[in-house]
């Protein structure tokens, strides 16, 4: 056995000897009693040390409990009524993907193309923005379905919906907000009706209401609509338009879309957004412009047109600042503080700067239903952006 060498710089206790640190002193006499006492003291010290460690562990466990809970990824739940912006509900900044449908036939090659996948990776920020708008749409319509009932004033219904959109999308000028006026067309009115100021229309039990609204982020619009009917006698009408819309989504990918009967056909292109909507009607199935106008939109390609009326110039400045080429309605102008603007608005329409969109109506006494979704033709697949658990 090799002789153990002791480091003179290390204290004697650490070198495994009972010598005192001062080498000039004599070692203490070792007796059986002294050894026993030393062993008892060591055992007592070890027990105390073990007890202290256990207490420390218990304290640590008690202290860690709250922090352990905070470390778990928190999923915020939306309030009722909704009030939390969706961007706060998704701390990662990533929003849910819509329904994915694979391309078929001539476009099947896209699903495995590495080049197309790379194009999608480059467009991810844009996809995420429009998905944020879609999540707002889903949460708002879920809430509206829970509160809409016969006896509601149509103005109250629209303002509740629009204010909820403003909260959840964190409205910010032209960067985020409402994409167009809330359509709540009733019965034979198919589209483009929203109440103007002073309208006292009340939702009735036997009404068929098309609730059509849009959200947008940076001009990327999610346009989706559904129909509300309290009387079950209208269920087959609603189901017909819902299924027709779903069928249209399945076939409208790379297929031609007839703009008018027998007219030019337009091809859907990669990277484009499309709103697929289907109307079911108990009437003739043809619409015409009728009733008082509420929807307006500035023309996309209008150049500089001189205006004589100062009031028209001022109103145009308000439209440019707050809506640009997004659709708006009279209630939105009222909300901005505009008054006595009807003559100026007519002047802008007559000059071709602003386009009026009157309500579209079938024959009186008929009932029209509508369902609509927004789809994105991605390079490798088709995404139904606005799809939800409801429709």
Q: Which domains does the chain have, with CATH numbers?
A: 99-290+362-384 (3.90.230.10), 293-357 (1.10.10.10)
Which residues touch 67 (CB under 8 Å, ≥6 apart)?
none
Q: What is the model's pTM?
A: 0.78
Question: Which residue positions form the known binding site?
Answer: 192, 212, 223, 252, 277, 372
User: What is the model's pLDDT at position 43?
Assistant: 52
Question: Which residue positions form the known binding site for a divalent metal cation?
Answer: 212, 223, 277, 372
User: What is the model's pLDDT at position 49?
Assistant: 59
- As a whole-number percent, the residues of the chain with pLDDT over 70 amount to 77
- Are the C-beta atoms of 221 and 212 separated by less than 8 Å? no
Q: What is the DSSP string of 313-354?
A: HHHHHHHHHHTTTS-EEHHHHHHTT--S-HHHHHHHHHTTSE
Give 120-156 pLDDT, tens digit per residue: 999 999 999 999 999 999 999 999 999 999 999 999 9
Residues of the chain with pLDDT under 50: 1-32, 34-35, 55-57, 59-74, 253-261, 263
Question: Which residue positions form the known binding site for substrate?
Answer: 192, 252
Q: What is the DSSP string of 262-314?
A: TS-EEE--TT-EEEEEEEEESS-S--EE-S---EEEE-TT--------HHHHH
CA distance 226 to 229: 10
CA distance 317 to 340: 16
User: What is the model's pLDDT at position 76?
Assistant: 81
């Amino acid at each position: 056995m090799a002789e153990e060498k002791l480091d003179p710089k290390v204290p004697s206790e650490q070198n495994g000897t009972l010598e005192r640190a001062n080498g000039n002193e004599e070692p203490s006499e070792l007796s059986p009693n002294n050894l026993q006492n030393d062993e008892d003291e060591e055992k007592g010290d070890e027990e105390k040390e073990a007890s202290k460690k256990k207490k420390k562990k218990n304290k640590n466990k008690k202290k860690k409990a709250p922090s352990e809970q905070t470390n778990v990824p928190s999923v915020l739940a939306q309030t009722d009524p909704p009030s939390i912006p969706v961007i706060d509900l998704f701390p990662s900044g990533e929003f849910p993907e819509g329904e994915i449908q694979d391309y078929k036939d001539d476009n099947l090659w896209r699903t495995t193309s590495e080049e197309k996948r790379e194009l999608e990776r480059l467009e991810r920020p844009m996809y995420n923005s429009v998905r944020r708008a879609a999540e707002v749409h889903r949460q708002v319509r879920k809430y509206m379905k829970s509160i809409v009932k016969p006896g509601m004033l149509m103005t109250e219904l629209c303002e509740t919906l629009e204010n909820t959109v403003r909260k959840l999308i964190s409205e910010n000028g032209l960067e985020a907000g409402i994409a167009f006026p809330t359509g709540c067309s009733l019965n034979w009115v198919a589209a483009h009706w929203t109440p103007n100021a002073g309208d006292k229309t009340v939702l009735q039990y036997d009404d068929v209401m098309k609730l059509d609204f849009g959200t947008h982020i940076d001009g990327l619009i999610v346009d989706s609509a559904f129909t509300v009917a309290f009387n079950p006698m209208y269920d087959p009408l609603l189901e017909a338009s819902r299924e027709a819309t779903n069928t249209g989504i399945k076939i409208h990918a790379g297929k031609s879309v007839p703009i008018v009967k027998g007219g030019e056909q337009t091809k859907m292109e990669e990277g484009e957004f499309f709103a697929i909507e289907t109307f079911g009607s108990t009437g003739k199935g043809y619409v015409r412009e009728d009733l008082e106008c509420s929807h307006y939109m500035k023309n996309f390609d209008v150049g500089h047109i001189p205006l004589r009326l100062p009031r028209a110039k001022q109103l145009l400045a308000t439209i440019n600042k707050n809506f640009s080429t997004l659709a708006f309605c009279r209630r939105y102008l009222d909300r901005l503080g505009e008054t006595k603007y009807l003559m100026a608005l007519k002047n802008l329409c007559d000059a071709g700067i602003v386009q009026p969109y009157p309500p579209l109506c079938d024959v009186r006494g008929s009932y029209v239903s509508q369902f609509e979704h927004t789809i994105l033709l991605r390079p490798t697949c088709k995404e139904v952006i606005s799809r939800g658990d409801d429709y």
